[in-house]
Amino acid sequence: MVSDYLDIAVQAARAAGALQRERLWGDYSIAFKGEKNLVTEVDRLSEDCIVRQLRAACPGCDVLAEERGSLTLGSPVRWIIDPLDGTTNYAHGFPWFAVSIGLEVSGEMQLGVIYHPMMDELFTTVRGRGAWLNGRRISVSRRQPLKSCLLATGFPYDRTRTNENNFDNFVRFQLAARAVRRAGAAALDLAYVAAGRLDGYWECKLNPWDVAAGKLLLEEAGGAVTNHAGEPYSITDHRILASNGLIHQEMLAVLADTKSHPSK
């Protein structure tokens, strides 16, 4: 049953991506969900497009989507949708954003699609069947140790009002790794670790729709995903650590060091 939904999710992701490409450098409305947290007209149109297609194919499924929240019908099957991951990038015309669609069955992720419209890169996975990019199988890098690796991260929207802003971790990883990138789309960060383009990724204060598809993609690509304490990761967890597996313990050690010796 699950694999039957892959084509549906791919079609929905591509349709939303086409809309995003068409509207990127045009006119659209922008609103605020918080001091720094934007939402655009294109976010909402993309979500409408995706949900409409998914509900048409699976009318009894539950839905969790970033803009409309949770639609619960009591089904064990739930779509988890980020219609436009990287909204701030999109609102500034910076072409780094993605559509992310995950399918959860009885609390376990079973399917993931991440689509990068501006590069026409389609990442797909079904549990037990590997991770794929445009029909080609992908896997995590074999790069180690940490000092030879390229990492990615992000910062929470409330970073100016909280001590948990990831700044200390960012500095420590910049010193410990070859380099750290902050591009602004969690789904793509996870997809790029899965594809071996990045070696590790950490962040905090994400939502289930940010990571649902990417978590499964990375696991199917042979990577490791935990929380910042090294415990099994749930998409509802507060903190994520993802890697090629070979540098996971080194990354955990950096995070533990930051926790033990925070900056003043």
Q: What is the pLDDT of residues 64-108, one digit of tens each?
A: 998 888 888 899 999 999 999 999 999 999 999 999 999 999 999
Per-residue pLDDT at 121 exceeds 60 = yes
Give the residue ranges of DSSP H helices in 24-138.
41-57, 87-91
Q: Are residues 210 and 118 in the same domain?
A: no
Query: What pTM was estimated for this model as a whole?
Result: 0.94
CATH number of the domain that residue 229 is part of: 3.40.190.80
ω into 145 cis (within 30 of 0): yes
Are 242 and 188 contacting, i.e. CB atoms less than 8 angstroms apart? Answer: no
Q: Are residues 118 and 150 in the same domain?
A: no
Write out pLDDT tens, residues 218-242. 999 999 999 999 999 999 998 999 9
Phi, psi of 111 (to 5 degrees): -155, 145
**HSE of 34, CA atoms in CB hemisphere, 13 A:** 9
The identity of residue 158, as a single letter, is D
CATH number of the domain that residue 54 is part of: 3.30.540.10
- Span 154-169, mean pLDDT? 82
Domain boundary among 138, 166, 199: 138
How many domains would you assign to the chain? 2
CA 223 from chain centre, in angstroms, equals: 15
246: containing domain: 146-260
- Span 161-169, mean pLDDT? 84
Question: Residues 211, 212, 214, 215: is their CA dihedral positive or negative?
Answer: positive
Task: Copy the structure tokens of residue 41.
Answer: 């007209």
d(CA 114, CA 4): 17
